């Protein structure tokens, strides 16, 4: 048996399931989860039945999206057919639908809302109570209490996100600021160069057009970021768009100044 627990869930709850499975496996409970254990491009129907048949228990992650899933109804029915225990892990305060009410209403569940992460330890204790050998088989380095492991896992995640936010903020703030300042310089340079020779006027016209095109582009990117409430998963990719663009703008501006100084 390659796994102990089959986790039944909706794809909309995958982020929570990722954290839940990582926590359980850190504590010696091997999990089977579709997004990780089914090869890309494979037919799910070929992998899920044997995974349920070979598990020791099924953890059902209950939410509004999983509640209406017909595929999860099949997974629960198959689990009951194989006489495996089911542990409902409710991450939202939603009543069971008809099929799930029929199968699960009399089964003790874990209310894990509104903060599911705070109840990972409770689920671990429930699994260990069903299979006491999990406690005996755990390696010495895995003897942390659920609370300690949870804090370590949350702290690492928060630190990573904080670091990514700082790096992204530097790139996103610096690039539009430099782009805006350089655009203003180009426009001002065009205005004050109108009485000079034709070459200078042509340069002024070109740099003005460049500034007028770049500044709105950078401004729209900033609006996009704010519309997403400065979410870190928007900050990071946007930095890779804005950062090189601002760097190119800076190099071009310095080259332009050098050209003007040599005239």
pLDDT in tens, 65-78: 999 999 999 999 99
Residue 132, pLDDT score = 84
Average of per-residue pLDDT across 188-211: 57
Dihedral, 242, 243, 249, 254 alpha carbons, nearest 10: 160
Residue-wise pLDDT tens digits, 84-129:
999 999 999 999 999 999 999 999 999 999 999 999 999 999 999 9
Q: What average pLDDT does this structure show over 54-62?
A: 97
Across the chain, mean pLDDT equals: 76
Q: What is the pLDDT of residues 212-229, one digit of tens each?
A: 566 666 666 666 666 555
3-state secondary structure of 88: strand
pLDDT, residue 133, reads 78
| Residue 106 to residue 1: CA distance in whole angstroms | 29
pLDDT at 168 over 70: no
The pLDDT value recorded for residue 206 is 58
Number of Cβ within a 10 Å radius of residue 174: 16
- The token duo for 199 is 């070459």
Task: Please name each of the domains of the chain with its CATH number.
Answer: 5-143 (3.40.50.10140), 158-261 (no CATH)
Asked whether residue 20 carries a pLDDT value surpassing 60, the answer given is yes
Q: Which helix (H) or strand (E) holds 246?
A: helix 232-261
pTM: 0.53
3-state secondary structure of 110: strand
| Mean local confidence (pLDDT), 166-184 | 60
Q: Name the least confident of 6-15, 30-39, 150-159, 202-211.
A: 150-159
pLDDT at residue 236 greater than cutoff 70: no
User: Is 139's pLDDT higher than 50?
Assistant: no
Residue 263's alpha-carbon distances to 192, 200, 201, 249, in angstroms, are 16, 10, 13, 22
């Amino acid at each position: 048996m390659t796994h102990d627990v089959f986790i039944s869930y909706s794809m909309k709850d995958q982020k929570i399931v990722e954290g839940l499975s990582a926590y359980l496996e850190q504590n010696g409970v091997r999990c089977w989860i579709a997004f990780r254990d089914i090869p890309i491009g494979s037919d799910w129907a070929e992998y899920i039945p044997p995974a349920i048949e070979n598990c020791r228990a099924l953890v059902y992650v209950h939410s509004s999206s999983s509640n209406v899933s017909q595929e999860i109804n099949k997974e629960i029915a198959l689990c009951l057919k194989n006489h495996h225990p089911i542990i409902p892990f409710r991450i939202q305060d939603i009543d069971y639908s008809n099929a799930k009410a029929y199968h699960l209403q009399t089964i003790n569940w874990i209310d894990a809302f509104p903060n599911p992460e705070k109840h990972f330890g409770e689920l671990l204790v429930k699994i260990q109570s069903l299979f006491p050998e999990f406690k005996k088989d755990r390696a010495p380095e895995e003897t942390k209490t659920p609370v300690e492991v949870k804090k370590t896992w949350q702290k690492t995640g928060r630190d990573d996100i904080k670091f990514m936010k700082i790096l992204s903020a530097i790139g996103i703030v610096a690039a539009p600021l430099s782009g805006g300042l350089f655009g203003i310089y180009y426009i001002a340079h065009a205005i004050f160069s109108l009485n000079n020779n034709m070459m200078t006027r042509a340069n002024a016209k070109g740099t003005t057009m460049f500034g007028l095109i770049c500044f709105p582009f950078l401004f729209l990117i900033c609006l996009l970021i704010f519309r997403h409430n400065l979410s870190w998963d928007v900050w990071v990719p946007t930095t890779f768009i804005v950062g090189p663009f601002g760097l190119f703008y800076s190099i071009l501006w310095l080259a332009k100044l050098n050209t003007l100084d040599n005239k």
